[in-house]
């Protein structure tokens, strides 16, 4: 589910500045650092599922997550799309509980998940 993670952490690169694309203000966030630091990853995750406080980056991400999932990241920058793919792959393989919780919140009817299921299963 590409859209979920564009928003998820590459997504930490989101904001509502330009109408055509989300802001690139956070595009340089080091996703490897987030993925390699359980405390940091948990912090972003809890923010996204409304179970914890959010940083400025987390708030930006969360504010666009639903839209990005529904429009399949149409307003995402290339860096955000690439980061989303990377984060989704990580979550699917390494953190399936987090992945499923994010899917349940942002795609409860599995509309977008089902559309991209074959791609996700090939990760």
Q: What is the pLDDT of residues 109-119, one digit of tens each?
A: 999 888 888 77
CA dihedral 13, 19, 21, 26 (to 10 degrees): -20
Distance CA 29, CA 71 (A): 23
Q: Token pair of 34, please?
A: 């987030």
pTM above the 0.75 mark? yes
Q: Which residue has the higher pLDDT, 76 or 16?
A: 76
Going along the chain from its start, the domains and CATH numbers come out as 2-121 (1.10.2080.10)
Q: What is the pLDDT of residues 36-74, one digit of tens each?
A: 999 999 999 999 999 999 999 999 999 999 999 899 899
């Amino acid at each position: 589910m590409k859209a979920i993670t564009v928003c998820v952490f590459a997504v930490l690169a989101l904001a509502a500045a330009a109408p055509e694309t989300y802001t690139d203000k956070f595009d340089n966030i080091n996703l490897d650092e987030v993925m390699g630091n359980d405390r940091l990853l948990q912090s972003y995750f809890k923010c996204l599922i409304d179970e914890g406080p959010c940083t400025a980056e987390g708030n930006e991400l969360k504010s666009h997550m639903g839209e990005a999932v529904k429009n399949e990241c149409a307003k995402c920058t290339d860096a955000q799309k690439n980061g989303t793919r990377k984060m989704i792959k990580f979550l699917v393989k390494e953190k399936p509980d987090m992945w499923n919780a994010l899917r349940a919140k942002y795609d409860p009817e599995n509309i977008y998940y089902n559309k991209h299921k074959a791609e996700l299963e090939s990760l």
